[in-house]
Amino acid sequence: MRRVRGIIGEGKKACVQTFGCQQNEADSERLGGMLSEMGFEIIYDVKDADLILVNTCAVREHAELKALSITGQFKHLKDAKPSLLIGICGCMVTQEHRAGTIKHSYPYVDFLFGTSMLYKFPEILWDTLTKDKRQILWEDTGEGNIAEGLPVKREGGVKAWLSIMYGCNNFCTYCVVPYVRGRERSRRREDILAEARGLIAEGVQEITLLGQNVNSYGNDLGTEGDFADLLDDICRIDGDFRLRFMTSHPKDASRKLIDVMAANDKIEKHFHLPLQSGDDRVLKAMNRRYTRESYLSLVGYMREKMPEIAITTDIIVGFPGETEEEFENTLDMLRRVRFDNIYSFIYSKRRGTPAEKMSDQIPDWVKKDRFARLLKVQDEISIAKNGELVGKTVPVLVEGRSKTDPARLTGRTAGNKLVHFTGDDALIGTRIDLHITQAETHSLFGEREK
Ligand code: 5AD
Ligand code: SF4
């Protein structure tokens, strides 16, 4: 890193395009930090860039096709400006077959590296420039590899991601993540606490702790305590900040974690708890290792301890072998739990996963039909749940101007619901009380208290 600081990028502009989850966004903030240290100016329009880096996702085919298509569009930029550097990194190219596709079918891509090589980015860029040769660094996901102390270029000062662990050990049968992100590796408690202290000192209002399964934080560290202890420790840091975390696996979310959440005002009362399916046979085939009953009992405990809690979930429709009756069990769970919001996905076959080889794949039209029915059931629940807030006054963290209506500001409630309201730019980054006046399926409208 040191030898390339401020040299490679002087007078040049770089643009990082990110696909996928919050972990990828956090990774891109580190890539942006490294680019800044190398002297690049970070910009958001690829047309003016001297370097474009695409940070890809592999969770569903759709995300991969989008990344490939956008990379394809960069060819004409390179034709117009041959000195333009194009790089691809992240989960998609950590798969051997996709790295091969880039290598052979996208000859104008100058460098490629997988998720375990993120910290080597400056070196890879240096080699690309000095060796006059494409750097295609595909290799299996490194294990036990955490690089601390990388620079970070964060988006905005209100909210920050903080990765507490990397990788996943769960091997849900549909999921590619354990193959592209490697085994679970927890960051050391003191490193996390130091980063949290730094963020709070900088004035960050809200920190979201990230991990594929935060509930197994510390399992690989031995003696340092679990996720609930870590949350408790972060809450003890002085300052007026709030904490969120994601994602939790229902098989590992403990009563202790819920108790810590209930006892700490600094932890926002929102729980994202991916259900995936509401049918016990499907859950077993997915290797999820919990049942409808144990899930319902966890939700019951959460609501007993925190009646105001917002619960959201992920649902996959059309997992191989899912029958109509099994799908209806998922609808039944939506009606029983009454989630505040769901993130729903059509099952996507992923290379190398056990579900890819299951014989009874569901036809596309059935998957699409179930997806539409799922949304319909949830939309009614979402609007009813949002409606419960109308007439109430709730605290909201103001994030910025609304993307759809710049005349308005937007903020988020404790339950992570989007609220639009009219107000002054000076409110951005502050926490204010809003009187909720109107509810829609995916957002709320509010007014400042007079
Ligand atoms: N197909 C569809 N959705 C998937 N997810 C993970 N793998 C797949 C797949 N192969 C969904 C899960 C997970 C979310 C991040 O993405 O619901 O919780
Ligand atoms: Fe994928 Fe399951 Fe790990 Fe989540 S817990 S990343 S769904 S394997």
Nearest ligand 2 atom to the CA of 276 is: 7
Question: Which pLDDT band holds residue 225 (cuts at 50, 70, 90)?
Answer: confident
Pocket test for ligand 1, best of 345, 347, 356, 358 (most atoms within 8 A of CB): 345
- Note the pLDDT of residue 6: 64
Whose atoms come closest to the Cα of 289: which ligand? 2
- Tell me, in angstroms, the distance from the centre of ligand 1 to residue 172's CA: 9
Contact (CB, 8 A) for 206 and 244 = yes
| 39-49 pLDDT, tens digit each | 999 999 999 99
| 133-173 pLDDT, tens digit each | 899 887 765 555 677 778 887 776 789 999 999 999 999 99
Q: CB burial class (10 A; 0-12, 13-18, 19+) of residue 65? A: exposed
| 322-346 pLDDT, tens digit each | 999 999 999 999 999 999 999 999 9
- Tell me, in angstroms, the distance from the centre of ligand 1 to residue 347's CA: 7
Whose atoms come closest to the Cα of 352: which ligand? 1
Pocket test for ligand 2, best of 212, 213, 216 (most atoms within 8 A of CB): 212
- Tell me, in angstroms, the distance from the centre of ligand 1 to residue 120's CA: 29
Nearest protein Cα to ligand 1, atom 7:
175
Which residues does a 6 A CB cutoff place in the pocket of ligand 1? 59-60, 174-175, 274, 276, 314, 316, 345, 347-348, 350
Q: Report how far residue 109's alpha carbon sits from residue 122's, in angstroms, rounded to the nearest whole number.
A: 17
Q: Is the pLDDT of residue 3 over 80?
A: no
- Tell me, in angstroms, the distance from the centre of ligand 2 to residue 138's CA: 23
Whose atoms come closest to the Cα of 171: which ligand? 2
Nearest protein Cα to ligand 2, atom 4:
212
| 172-195 pLDDT, tens digit each | 999 999 999 999 999 999 999 999
| 86-102 pLDDT, tens digit each | 999 999 999 999 999 99
Per the prediction, the chain carries an average pLDDT of 93
- Note the pLDDT of residue 153: 79
Structural domains present in the chain? 2-137 (3.40.50.12160), 154-268 (3.30.750.210), 272-388 (3.30.750.200), 393-448 (2.40.50.140)
- Tell me, in angstroms, the distance from the centre of ligand 2 to residue 245's CA: 16
**Global pTM?**
0.94
Contact (CB, 8 A) for 85 and 339 = no
Nearest protein Cα to ligand 2, atom 5:
170
Could you tell me which of 176, 213, 12, 215 has the C-alpha nearest to residue 91?
A: 176
- Note the pLDDT of residue 449: 75
- Tell me, in angstroms, the distance from the centre of ligand 1 to residue 350's CA: 10
Nearest protein Cα to ligand 1, atom 13:
314
Which residues does a 6 A CB cutoff place in the pocket of ligand 2? 168, 170-172, 175, 177-178, 212-213, 249
Nearest ligand 1 atom to the CA of 348 is: 1
- Tell me, in angstroms, the distance from the centre of ligand 1 to residue 251's CA: 17
Nearest ligand 1 atom to the CA of 355 is: 10
Q: Report how far residue 378's alpha carbon sits from residue 372's, in angstroms, rounded to the nearest whole number.
A: 10
- Tell me, in angstroms, the distance from the centre of ligand 1 to residue 36's CA: 33
Structure tokens belonging to residue 356 = 């890819």
Task: Give one DSSP letter per residue of 287-313, joined into a string.
Answer: T----HHHHHHHHHHHHHH-TT-EEEE
Q: CB burial class (10 A; 0-12, 13-18, 19+) of residue 287? A: middle
Computed from CA positions of residues 162, 165, 166, 171, in that sequence, does the dihedral angle turn out positive or negative?
negative
Task: Give one DSSP letter per residue of 380-419, joined into a string.
Answer: HHHHHHHHTTTT-EEEEEEEEE-SS-TTSEEEEETT--EE
Amino acid code (one letter) for 301: Y
Strand arrangement of the beta sheet that strand 242-246 belongs to: 159-163, 206-210, 242-246
Distances (CA, A) of 270 to 26, 288, 372: 21, 22, 26
